[in-house]
A and B are shown apart, each in its own frame.
Chain A
């Protein structure tokens, strides 16, 4: 058998491959050769073969068959073998496989080897990938080596101990005696690793922390020596002596000085010294300064020192090196809460960073800017931030808009300024604002009574320019609906009133209804606005016409509104003025405000930002509960239902909307409805007896029922309470089709009253075969914590004989066992 090819030869050969397939072929061939070589238990070439295997592993090919060979190499007496063997172990083995435990004995022997380089290999491997079991077995050996006088081994043992402690924290105690004189070492390697070990112990145990506080003077001395000592070629980096050690000491001091006055005082001087004497022309000096600043901010330092730290950060902001600027902004963000005034002094520099090219820097500058906004600087800051909003990348717009709203709400110097600012946001970044900004803005507008005329005028003008940004359009429609009379009468005081006729206004609103740019929600807003104008304008006939047209709209939401408004005109015209009169001022609840911007990564997409915002907490009043709980309100006083102020209807529009775009992100309804007293229609339980007509075997005694049966489509519900949670009812729908043509694109949707939660799993298929030849099933889980009467509204869509069919139905005949 010829000798296996050498490693470099293999590498060279593989690199000549011109295609992925060619490479794979070479690799497979070589792997086969290696495998047979392994089978022959060839000691001579095992090392070479494993090395080749490691190369192929790096290219992405499987190499698990080499794991045991690594162990054999480790057990060999040749140093070359051990070197490759341990490398292989670190690359191919991990603690999930039991194989790795076979290493333990080898490592133990090697830890006691006569050659320090072998001991070093063992320490390195253990410290890199030792599992908890291995660490437990070998901790004693590591501890022994920690006490050796050989600095080469001692430093490795210290880091190995760190790993052991991370894996098995209970073993920390056993290393305590060995730490006694670690810091009196002269060797920098040992010093550095010892400081790392001490840091790890102090972080994990408050007792250790208290115990090691006495080391502060010694640490201070070492640090001082490093700074004051002359040039030491061995540890010098750009004129600074052992920056790595300096940084680690500073970090340990931070942990020791936190919450401890005495320790903090003891390190005050040295921190000031480091802060003022460190050379800042290169990255290495700034790294030390950075660590120093972090330490100063975390311990109980005196105010002078804190100001010094913040000034260092301020200087960092002016540094040409963008890395330094980035680091400065991050640190300032952490300190802005506690040292607000000091950070304020650097506000202009921070605002300049908004124009930086780097995305991460821009994001941090934005977050910091918002944190710095206060009553004094609101006008200036807002100008900068709005300018930023105009020109920034889309990924920032949502957060920036939220931040602007929040800041405006807190510090607006005047109502007009507030409204102007919000309008500016809506016109420049209107598509990126969060959904709840629409109801919030509406509420703000209603509350600023004296600004109504001004607001509606500005909004009208904005609509004339651009109808693509939905939040803006929705707010504008609502306002025009409410205050259209002010618009037409030209009553604006704040600015030059514009001349506008009723017809022009109605033109604009109707334009929204037909425009492709308008979402169904927006259309709902504009239809309602048109309706409201019937009591404010005189062109009632035109409005009646529009409303009746939409009575046959395909969009069921619009259709319903139109039909109900029609009914208002016909049967309930005497109630119309009262129903459509001006909205009362809405009470602002604390939960309505936009939430704080979440600090997010600079690199995540905007969609994850949205997901991170918790849904606004809703506090429905009792009366609102009654209103929104209305079920089966179809035939009972529909008028009252629709004149619930459009705020909840349309704000929750997309949630309440069973039609059109159903957002799959479930969430509780936003914004509560203001209370409009209404009489709750009495709800009668359909005659349900507790006697099931027939028992479904699958259900735990809960009878099944037919929920829907029309046009050949029959939907049965069967129930289960298999779920351990008694509040969850599991309903399986069974859809069958008795017509001669199959129903395709079948989609089943359901809605439940607010006190329930619904979860719809995937259907078995979306084709219901003809002539009852098959069933489509789908599972619904209904959470009913309040054990209320289960009611459901279902919507069915499917294609039958080439035409699309849609139907809405109500399901009230749930057996009591399904929800009790």
Chain B
């Protein structure tokens, strides 16, 4: 994308359409648009929220109709722009930025491909039905599909078979007005697999309403190829060229946590020293509860644990004095007061930005916690990931998770959906649904507190 005057590129629907149906770009080539650096990052983050929402919805097993709704709502919320004319540009720009971000490894490509294809499919499904026949035909042309409309003569010769196919799916037989397309069977694997089309001499006869499948397949294969090419370009030239401008942004985006960072101290402490024991039992997520319990038991935690728990407590609103008192009370039982002051208090003050220049110690998000690698003697990390099944069951049972919820949680764990497991734990313990899912230990805490102390005035 260069710094050029924006040119009008071929949209799916002309802006003169009486009905202004939002367009669905195909992202065939990067359009010559001018992009501001801030927008480069923020557009990408907004799109990433949509994609992560889709990922979440899919792993919760939502049905296609629910997904369609989810996608449309998420899109409305995150991908709008104050200037209506800019909405399409935001769509395109954000896609291309994320291509750079997610082309770089096999895993990233796989995830991005799945989510973008799901996004495309549901948006297409949602919109296609509202289009006129002419508009629908225009789309087919846009996709350069190697398919030809079946003429009347051919239709008559296969009408009976087409009728059998329709009726086998519980649909009415097609009439002479139903449009069919003749497509090489290789292009519609889903329809072939489900025996949802009549196939003859290598060609599948696809009804207009089955076009979604066709289009989705083509979108997918196009994007898949493009990602590989983008990766090559990235490693060959872009990464280096942009190392002072775009590269750092791109590299940070793929692991970004997208919620509030809980780094700003509250106006007043949410919890104070005397509350900790109580709230630990009711509102700490398992990772922090475990660290807390171990600290009480051993009167010590290694560095990883001190960071994870310490920053969490800061995020929860424990002020520096109370934090020092808390850690001192525990550690001095093992190492003595003097050693505590000498070796450990510095770090605590450091975390609160009172030492050195660093103030960017933000409480760890779930992503960060999950990806840590605790070694021997460490207690930090995500228990859903680190604990053996036995130990996890015991820990959850100590927290008060009932046996039915336990099975659901363990199922998520087995499928490596650690945050979903934590979410289910939250839901089981609090008796309410947590639709947004748990993405940050401090979010778990504040959501929990909101439920348990609804009357507490939490605004300054």
A associates with B: no
